[in-house]
Amino acid sequence: MFEMVKTSALLFFQGKLFQNQAEALRQLAIGIGLTVIVFLIVAKLANIVLAGVVAGFIGGAAQPALFKNLKFR
């Protein structure tokens, strides 16, 4: 399992994992931005621990929707 993760990370950073690397990076940036925004909003309304949990859940739940149309090589 570790070898698969290592190989995938290596291919990603070499730009050989996805057919359209720019699209993958754009979708990743959208997910990170969504997570940060949710974190800041919830942190303003509640404590930081709750904000981390909620933002992590929402950001993680958004990844499949963001990455559904990405094509691998």
Is the confidence at residue 73, as pLDDT, over 90? no
3-class secondary structure, 53? helix
Confidence band of 3 (pLDDT split at 50, 70, 90): very high
For the chain, the domains span 18-73
State how far the Cα of 49 lies from the Cα of 65, in Å rounded to an integer: 25
Tell me the pLDDT tens digit for each residue of 28-72. 999 999 999 999 999 999 999 999 999 999 999 999 999 998 888
With beta carbons less than 8 A apart as the criterion, state whether 70 and 24 touch: yes
H-assigned helices in the chain: 2-14, 21-45, 48-67
Is the confidence at residue 15, as pLDDT, over 90? no
